[in-house]
């Protein structure tokens, strides 16, 4: 009995740590968003200012930089959006169930839908990412950026998503709501 | 699978079972209440495993999945989503949007339904800046839903008018959706834009008319804005409130129409412009920026997750031969032109319940194309493109799986139930269907402007 | 599906093989997608329906620029694409399609089939577990659509042009502000003037994108793509499992697709060009000064790339072939074409 309790405590504290990790990722994602907007503005203005001063201020590298930041933002935030329950649900039936039944179904779908999906994406995305690193793959377009690190964002983002799923499964197993209540408030 | 019996061989294509099976399983997965994105992805993975066990696909087939995800990540047009969501959230956070909507509501006189009418108008204007449904619906939801609820609107009417006006972005040019359709059909995109102007305006006109009629018939649904406590509307106050949004609309629309920026870049300009305007009106702070960035990041992750889930779903659907099933169905239709149109419209409508527009454009349009070219001729393709656009707009609103409804659900406050949103969509679906029928029976509504334009050019 | 048993058994000496073919093209580019369809149709006919290849448009299975990766990782057995899309993985793959101031369609075939080209390209592809077959050619392309006429090299400075790949690199070296936009955004960007110029392929495909409505001046020649080869890729493991009869059919079908696409493009472009001119399109020659400057920039870029040993090996072999075939074609082809449809009458 004592072993069970300490396991529960330990696993719940791991779930909290995963939450904290995804909040950290979200913080990076917010910075990526602001940088993306700044870069996008520069790309438009740069075309015109550049024409006036006779230099190319916009380039493919900057355009590609914009979508790399977009990718960074989206993939870093996948797990965070699960934590904050922002992923859209069809809650027609769910809203009529008892909390106990809701938790059971949530656990079953986390284990049966989310985690297998994450696992397949992780398994299939690692090999092409490694190949891209081996080739030091770059963009085929003039002045383009390296590709290998953007490809790494797929396994990274899904790892964060999968970890969040595990954290929620742990809480559901212990009969608690899937997310801890203390999100928000960090800068 | 081949079964031999009594001198006959029955060939059962696994796709004939697995394809429809996937849709069935998806319905169950979604009804479980689990996030749509991972319902799509999870069902895909489960059926991929089934298909592997039956020898229909190899394990290596799934290696295409990260490539498709990478394709979504490299799709420059999707950058418009965070930009427009950010713009909407910033306008909301700084109170600019609310003041705009309320002012426009007051401007419509003490008209009942004035706020809803303002939503249709603002929605039409936003539609003229982007074609990304997800961005338009979430933006409108963030901007106008709180304002309407505070005014005491019926929740269904409020959400219905927002979801419907939000989908206008698809049919009113410029529209990324129409660009994709033009690419798939091989129709010049410019003509598709011109051709969809009248149908688009018909739609927003129908919405406006409905709002006027329903608020006359049932005043309690759309109470007039209570302006007793407020200072009277002065001309200078009006200019003050209108200036900010008009500058922003000019910035976004203007930069597209005057060729300063692509629609995607215009979204970025709009986001930065919204920040500047919020700052000018004193509604900007570090905390506000953090709040806005946070909701933008979460909303964008939600939308892209749905795209990723649906790309997994449609990959496996193809892998088990579900696409062949659909094309066989279309090719064996009786009734020539009418039969083809009726069934293809039904198929597109039905698929719109389940999968994203881009996926439909990729799965269905190529299957329709050869038959369509034969039956309608090359000139008919332009018309067909607009009709498909109008049809898909309808299906985005269809409960229980209309994507516009999901996006709105994602940004609506707790007090609004999913049932409210579903009920609210119904009248607008009927309105869209009538416009769809109108352009089906009167192709001139589509072809008139392009023919005038080309006559003027020739 | 229900059929008679004896029907099914007839002609079943060869195994039933189903392949998937990922392509880089949308259905709407029917000529170039037609290359994949030709291969599919011919192997089906030759094998009496036992060897079936289903071509998929870009995005149906994988995005258009991910075909090599898909064939490599085995998610499809084969693909139809252009080698130069993958120069980010290996720059020398550019020679498999086209290089600025490189070979015409006929010379490209001569190099690939009989001049050691295919061996050189397949040596590159062997790193990816893939082999290649020439399977289509667009012929010399056009040099793009411009909103305003060019006035010499200086007018390229700061010009915003949509042009990908090596051609884009050369243009960038000449001062062009090179922008790479997705296919679907080209029309809008050009029409509204967000960019000043855009290149796609030739009259038939460009008209379908509506580029003639967005810009008036149609420049020639497309010196960065004088005869680009489209390529069928096959996963090496899938190839080795294929019965030798089917291997022969596949190779023959690719050969046929290679020739047929070129014929189609030449026939279609000839018709559409006349229609474009009637519609107000103005044809413009790039002019010697720009072509000279572009050639010098190209030589510099290729020389820089040749610091890499793999690139150098392919480049030097290719360059010496180009020198010889240019010398020969100057004598036979050029003297004839110059007189028969050259400056005197045919030129618009
Ligand atoms: Na629009
Ligand atoms: Na080209």
Nearest to B256 among C28, C63, C192 (CB): C192
Chain B 249-268, residues with CB within 8 Å of chain C CB atoms: 256-265
Distance, CA of A88 to CA of B35 (rounded, Å)? 5
Nearest to B264 by CA among B124, B81, B73, B74: B81
Which listed ligand is nearest to B136 at the C-alpha?
1
Kindly report the three-state secondary structure assignment for every residue of chain B.
Answer: CEEEECCEEEECCCHHHHHHHHHHHHHHHHHCCCCHHHHHHHHHHHHHHHHHHCCCCCHHHHHHHHHHHHHHHCCHHHHHHHHHHHHHHHHHHCCHHHHHHHHHHHHCCCCCCHHHHHHHHHHHHHHCCCCCHHHHHHHHHHHHHHHHHHCCCCHHHHHHHHHHHHHHHHHCCCCHHHHHHHHHHCCCHHHHHHHCHHHHHHHHHHHHHHHHHHHHHCHHHCCCCCCCCCCCCCHHHHHHHHHHHHHHHHHHHHHHHCCCCCHHHHHHHHHHHHHHHHHHCCCCCHHHHHHHHHHHHHHHHHHHHHHHHHHHHHHHHHHCCHHHHHHHHHHCCCCHHHHHHHHHHHHHHHHCCCCCHHHHHHHHHHHHHHHHHHHHHHHHHHHHHHHHHHHHHHHCCCCCCCHHHHHHHHHCCCCCCHHHHHHHHHHHHHHHHHHHHHHHHCCHHHHHHHHHHHHHHC
**A3 DSSP 8-state letter:** H
Please say whether the beta carbons of C91 and B97 come within 8 A: no
Please say whether the beta carbons of B90 and B274 come within 8 A: yes
Position of tokens 């030129």? C347
A127 touches chain C (CB under 8 A): yes
pLDDT per residue as tens digits for the range B372-427 = 877 787 678 889 999 998 888 877 888 776 778 888 988 888 889 889 999 999 99
Chain C 295-324, residues with CB within 8 Å of chain B CB atoms: none
pLDDT on residue C142? 95
Sheet bearing C130-137, strands edge to edge = C51-56, C17-23, C78-81, C229-235, C130-137
Interface test with C, best of B1, B64, B311 (most C CBs within 10 A): B64
Q: Give B-chain residues touching A119 at CB under 8 angstroms.
A: 45
Distance, CA of B148 to CA of B162 (rounded, Å)? 10
pLDDT > 70? residue A186: no
Nearest to A87 among B66, B302, B312 (CB): B302
Distance, CA of B312 to CA of B320 (rounded, Å)? 13
Position of tokens 């770059």? A138
Chain C 256-285, residues with CB within 8 Å of chain B CB atoms: 279-280
Nearest to A113 among B42, B297, B409 (CB): B42
Nearest to B70 among C1, C27, C66 (CB): C66
- The predicted complex's ipTM stands at 0.83
Please say whether the beta carbons of B120 and B163 come within 8 A: no
Cross-chain residue pair A120–B410, CB shorter than 8 Å = no
Please say whether the beta carbons of B421 and B159 come within 8 A: yes
pLDDT on residue C316? 96
A150 touches chain B (CB under 8 A): yes
B32 touches chain C (CB under 8 A): no
Residue B45 alpha carbon to ligand 2 centre in Å = 39
* C-alpha distance from A51 to closest chain C C-alpha (Å): 6
pLDDT on residue B230? 61
Residue length of chain A: 187
pLDDT on residue C348? 47
Nearest to B183 among C7, C56, C183 (CB): C183
**C341 in helix, strand or coil?**
helix
Chain C 54-113, residues with CB within 8 Å of chain A CB atoms: 65, 69, 72-73, 84-90
pLDDT on residue A54? 61
Which range has the worst mean pLDDT, A116-120, B20-24, C225-229? Answer: B20-24
Residue B126 alpha carbon to ligand 1 centre in Å = 7
Cross-chain residue pair A88–B409, CB shorter than 8 Å = yes
Please say whether the beta carbons of B392 and B168 come within 8 A: no
pTM: 0.81
Q: Give C-chain residues touching B332 at CB under 8 angstroms.
A: none
Cross-chain residue pair B401–A90, CB shorter than 8 Å = yes
pLDDT > 90? residue C224: yes
pLDDT on residue B324? 73
B48 touches chain A (CB under 8 A): yes
**A12 in helix, strand or coil?**
helix
Residue B252 alpha carbon to ligand 1 centre in Å = 12
Nearest to C219 by CA among C153, C151, C285, C148: C285
Torsion sign across C-alpha atoms C305, C310, C313, C315 = negative
Nearest to A153 by CA among A134, A174, A126: A126
Nearest to A135 among C65, C89, C169 (CB): C89
pLDDT > 80? residue A51: no
B333 touches chain A (CB under 8 A): no
Residue length of chain B: 458
A43 touches chain C (CB under 8 A): no
What residues form DSSP beta bridges with C23? C80
pLDDT per residue as tens digits for the range C115-147 = 999 999 999 999 999 999 999 999 999 999 999
Please say whether the beta carbons of B52 and B59 come within 8 A: yes
pLDDT per residue as tens digits for the range C185-210 = 677 778 777 789 999 889 999 988 78
Q: How many CB atoms lie within 10 A of CB B31?
A: 17
Extract the tokens encoding C332.
Answer: 């036979």
What distance lies between CA A57 and its chain's CA centroid? 32
pLDDT on residue B346? 85
pLDDT > 60? residue C1: no
Sheet bearing C177-179, strands edge to edge = C177-179, C160-162, C197-198, C145-146, C217-220, C282-285
What does C286-340 look like in DSSP terms, one character per residue? --HHHHHHHHHHHHHHHHHHTTSHHHHHHHHHHHHHHHHHHHHHIIIIIHHHHHH
Nearest to C60 among B185, B189, B318 (CB): B318
Cross-chain residue pair C28–B2, CB shorter than 8 Å = no
pLDDT grade, residue C345 (50/70/90)?
very low
Query: Considering only alpha carbons, which residue of chain A is nearest residue B419?
Result: A92
Flag residues of chain B having pLDDT under 50.
109, 457-458
Chains with 3 or more CB pairs under 8 A to chain A: B, C
Residue C59 alpha carbon to ligand 2 centre in Å = 20
A49 touches chain B (CB under 8 A): no
Extract the tokens encoding C29.
Answer: 């580019």
**C152 in helix, strand or coil?**
coil
- Inter-chain CB pairs, A–C, below 8 Å: 58
pLDDT > 50? residue A183: no
Distance, CA of B65 to CA of A121 (rounded, Å)? 7
Q: Give C-chain residues touching B260 at CB under 8 angstroms.
A: 194
Q: Give B-chain residues touching C73 at CB under 8 angstroms.
A: 60, 63
Which listed ligand is nearest to B203 at the C-alpha?
1
Q: Give C-chain residues touching A131 at CB under 8 angstroms.
A: 72
Q: Give B-chain residues touching C22 at CB under 8 angstroms.
A: 64
Which listed ligand is nearest to C224 at the C-alpha?
2
Query: Considering only alpha carbons, which residue of chain A is nearest residue B44?
Result: A117
Please say whether the beta carbons of A70 and B78 come within 8 A: yes
A81 touches chain B (CB under 8 A): yes
Cross-chain residue pair C181–B76, CB shorter than 8 Å = yes
Residue B212 alpha carbon to ligand 2 centre in Å = 53
pLDDT on residue A185? 34
pLDDT per residue as tens digits for the range B161-180 = 999 998 888 888 767 677 77
Distance, CA of A180 to CA of A164 (rounded, Å)? 11
Query: Considering only alpha carbons, which residue of chain B is nearest residue A38?
Result: B272
CA distances from B60 to A45, A135, B308, B360, C238 (A): 45, 21, 19, 25, 12
């Amino acid at each position: 009995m004592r072993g069970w309790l300490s396991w529960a405590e330990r696993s719940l504290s791991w779930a909290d740590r995963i939450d904290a990790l995804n909040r950290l990722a979200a913080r990076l994602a917010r910075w990526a968003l602001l940088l993306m907007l700044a870069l996008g503005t520069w790309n438009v203005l740069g075309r015109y200012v550049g024409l006036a001063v006779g230099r190319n201020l916009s380039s493919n590298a900057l355009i590609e930089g914009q979508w790399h930041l977009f990718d960074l933002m989206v993939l870093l935030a996948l797990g965070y959006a699960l934590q904050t329950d922002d992923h859209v649900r069809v809650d027609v039936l769910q809203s009529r169930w008892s909390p106990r039944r809701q938790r059971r179904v949530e656990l079953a779908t986390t284990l049966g839908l989310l985690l297998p999906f994450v696992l397949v994406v992780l398994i299939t995305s690692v090999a092409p990412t490694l190949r891209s690193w081996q080739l030091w793959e770059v963009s085929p377009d003039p002045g383009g950026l390296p590709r290998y690190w953007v490809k790494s964002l797929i396994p990274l983002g899904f790892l964060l998503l999968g970890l969040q799923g595990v954290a929620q499964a742990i809480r559901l197993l212990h009969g608690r709501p899937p997310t801890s209540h203390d999100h928000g408030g960090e800068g | 699978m081949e079964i031999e019996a009594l001198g006959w061989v029955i060939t059962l294509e696994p796709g004939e079972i697995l394809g429809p099976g996937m849709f069935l399983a998806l319905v169950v997965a979604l009804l479980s209440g689990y996030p749509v994105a991972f319902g799509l992805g999870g069902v895909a993975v489960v059926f991929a495993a089934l298909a592997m066990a039956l020898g229909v696909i190899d394990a290596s087939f799934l290696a295409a999945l990260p490539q498709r995800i990478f394709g979504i990540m490299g799709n420059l047009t999707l950058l418009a989503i965070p930009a427009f969501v950010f713009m909407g959230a910033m306008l909301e956070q700084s109170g600019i949007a609310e003041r705009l909507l309320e002012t426009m509501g007051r401007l419509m006189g003490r008209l009942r339904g004035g706020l809803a009418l303002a939503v249709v108008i603002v929605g039409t204007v936003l539609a003229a800046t982007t074609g990304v449904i997800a961005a338009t619906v979430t933006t409108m939801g963030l901007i106008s839903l709180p304002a309407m609820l505070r005014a005491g609107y019926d929740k269904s009417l409020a959400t219905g008018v927002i979801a419907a006006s939000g989908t206008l972005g698809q049919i009113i040019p410029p529209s990324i959706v129409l660009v994709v359709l033009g690419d798939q059909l091989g129709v010049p995109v410019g003509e598709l834009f011109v051709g969809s102007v009248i149908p688009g305006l018909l739609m927003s006109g129908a919405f406006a008319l409905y709002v006027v009629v329903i608020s006359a018939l049932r005043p309690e649904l759309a109470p007039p804005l209570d302006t007793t406590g407020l200072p009277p509307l002065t001309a200078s106050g009006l200019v003050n409130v209108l200036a900010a949004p008009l500058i922003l609309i000019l910035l976004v629309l203007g930069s597209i129409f005057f060729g300063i920026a692509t629609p995607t870049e215009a979204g970025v300009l709009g986001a930065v412009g919204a920040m500047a305007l919020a700052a000018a009106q004193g509604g900007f702070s570090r905390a506000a920026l953090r709040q806005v960035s946070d909701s933008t990041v979460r909303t964008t992750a939600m939308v892209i997750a749905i795209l990723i889930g649906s790309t997994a779903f449609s990959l496996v659907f193809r892998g088990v031969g579900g696409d062949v099933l659909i094309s066989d169905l279309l090719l064996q239709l009786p009734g020539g032109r009418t039969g083809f149109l009726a069934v293809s419209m039904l198929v597109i409508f039905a698929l719109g319940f389940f999968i994203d527009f881009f996926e439909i454009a990729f799965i269905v349009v190529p299957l329709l194309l050869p038959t369509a070219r034969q039956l309608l001729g090359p000139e008919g393709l332009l018309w067909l493109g607009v009709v498909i656009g109008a049809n898909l707009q309808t299906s985005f609103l269809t409960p229980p799986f209309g994507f516009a409804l999901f996006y709105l659900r994602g940004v609506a406050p707790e007090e609004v139930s999913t049932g409210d949103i579903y009920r609210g969509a119904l009248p607008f679906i009927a309105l869209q269907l009538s416009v769809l029928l109108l352009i089906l029976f009167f192709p001139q509504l589509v072809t008139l402007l392009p023919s005038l334009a080309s006559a003027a050019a020739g | 599906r229900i059929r008679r048993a004896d029907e099914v058994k007839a002609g079943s000496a060869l195994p039933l093989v189903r392949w998937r073919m990922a392509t880089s093209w949308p259905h709407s580019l029917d000529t170039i997608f037609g290359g994949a369809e030709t291969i599919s149709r011919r192997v089906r006919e030759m094998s009496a329906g036992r060897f079936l290849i289903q071509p998929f448009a870009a995005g149906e299975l994988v995005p258009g620029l991910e075909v090599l990766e898909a064939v490599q990782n085995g998610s499809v057995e084969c693909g139809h694409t252009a080698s130069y899309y993958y120069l980010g993985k290996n720059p020398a793959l550019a020679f498999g399609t086209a290089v600025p101031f490189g070979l015409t369609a006929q010379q490209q075939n001569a190099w690939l089939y009989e001049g050691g080209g295919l061996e050189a390209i397949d040596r590159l592809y062997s790193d990816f577990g893939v082999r290649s077959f020439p399977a289509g050619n667009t012929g010399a392309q056009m040099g793009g659509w411009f909103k305003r006429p060019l006035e010499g090299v200086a007018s390229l400075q700061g010009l915003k042009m949509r042009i990908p790949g090596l051609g884009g690199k050369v243009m960038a070296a000449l001062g062009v502000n090179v922008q790479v936009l997705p296919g679907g955004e080209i029309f809008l960007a050009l029409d509204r003037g967000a960019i000043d110029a855009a290149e796609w392929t030739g009259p038939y495909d460009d008209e379908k994108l509506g580029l003639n409505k967005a810009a008036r001046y149609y420049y020639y020649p497309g010196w960065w793509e004088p005869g680009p080869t489209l390529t069928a890729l096959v996963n090496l493991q899938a190839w080795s499992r294929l019965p030798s009869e089917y291997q022969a059919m596949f190779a023959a079908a690719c050969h046929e697709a290679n020739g047929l696409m070129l014929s189609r493009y030449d026939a279609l472009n000839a018709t559409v060009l006349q229609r474009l001119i009637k519609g107000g399109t103005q044809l413009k020659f790039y002019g010697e000064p720009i072509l000279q400057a572009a050639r010098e920039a190209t030589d510099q870029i290729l020389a820089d790339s040749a610091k890499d040993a793999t690139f150098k090996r392919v480049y030097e072999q290719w360059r010496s072939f180009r020198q010889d075939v240019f010398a020969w074609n100057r004598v036979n082809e050029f003297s004839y074409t110059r007189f028969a449809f050259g400056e005197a009458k045919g030129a618009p």
